Amino acid sequence: MVEFKCPGCGWTHILNTDTGHRPAWAFNGDVDRPTLTPSINAWREYGGKRKTDRCHSFVTDGRIRFLDDCTHALAGQSVDLPSLPQTSQGT
């Protein structure tokens, strides 16, 4: 599992990297310059009008690039991703 506090939407995105479970993301194993594929597409709906918050991003070489369909202030921008917390290495 890889998780990080997202600088765009403020949620903690938790990504499964165990290919035995779906969905699974490919992670390059570098906590300083992480690359995760495919894109992260998170959303939630709330309220009577079913307003939707969406966060859609690519993480490449330690940068997080938000796509234009994000609903937060960093839509369409790229920012540095803080270093990931060290993940415990299973054997």
Stretch that binds Zn ion, among 4-12, 24-32, 46-54, 82-90 (CB under 5 A): 4-12
Stretch that binds Zn ion, among 20-28, 31-39, 48-56, 78-86 (CB under 5 A): 48-56
By CB under 5 A, tell whether 25 contacts Zn ion.
Answer: no
Closest contact distance (angstroms) between CB of 43 and Zn ion is 10
Closest contact distance (angstroms) between CB of 59 and Zn ion is 10
Q: What residues contact residue 58 under an 8 Å CB cut-off, 6+ apart?
A: 36, 37, 39, 40, 64, 65, 67
Closest contact distance (angstroms) between CB of 41 and Zn ion is 10
**DSSP assignment of 33-84:** S--EEEEEEEEEEETTTTEEEEEEEEEETTEEEE-TT--STTTT-EEEPPPP
Q: Note the residues at the interface with Zn ion (CB under 5 A).
A: 6, 8-9, 55
